[in-house]
Amino acid sequence: MNDLTDKYSHASEGLIAVANGVADDQLSAPTPCSEYTVRELLNHLFYVTDLMEKGVAGEDMEMTDTPPDFMSPEQTWRNRFTQAIEKCGATFSNPAVLQGDPLLGLPRSQAALLPLFDFVIHSWDLARATGQEYHPYPPAVDLLDQLSKEVVPGGREFGVFAEAVEVPQDASEFARLLAFTGRDPHWRP
């Protein structure tokens, strides 16, 4: 198992577990991402995985402010979500993904980590919004901490990330990562 496979495996499992723990009556709940409800955040994850899969396949990665509704029909979203996350994790843990033209203007070595970043950060968002526990895989947090220093400042310019939140110096590495992405590690609905 290569290094990325290990990280994607843990991140995929964590995200799928949290998503499967979302009750239907929680889909309209707010999340730490103020622009998304739980349902909208799940749809965002569907959209991002679909978009990144297309990019790796050399297809057009046309982004839109109004992504398709991947959550309908609601009776089957959990199975489809599990399949989409597992497929994306497998795709991006393949070392061949690191070869080729840049994706989203980023070198492949960075772009290949974007789904991992979303899996870990949004697992926490979903868990926090729905009263679940989430404990990320520490080696993934280490890697994403490095990546965040490279991509988050540029993302702030486009409104993708809020300004950093202050946390105590003794905060965990994951709490510092969340804070750097503009999330309050103590957020509650």
Reported as a single tens digit per residue, the pLDDT across 16-54 is: 999 999 999 999 999 999 899 999 999 999 999 988 888
155 with 175: CB under 8 angstroms? no
Pick from 40, 38, 67: nearest CA to 52: 67
More confident residue, 55 or 21: 21
Task: Decide which of 54 and 119 is more confident.
Answer: 119
Q: At a CB cut-off of 8 Å and minimum separation 6, what does 98 contact?
A: 108, 109, 112
pLDDT at 1 over 60: no
Residue 148 has pLDDT above 80, yes or no: yes
Q: Which domains does the chain have, with CATH numbers?
A: 3-180 (1.20.120)
Indicate if the pLDDT at residue 85 is higher than 70: yes
Identify any residues that bridge with 64 across adjacent strands, giving them in sequence order: none
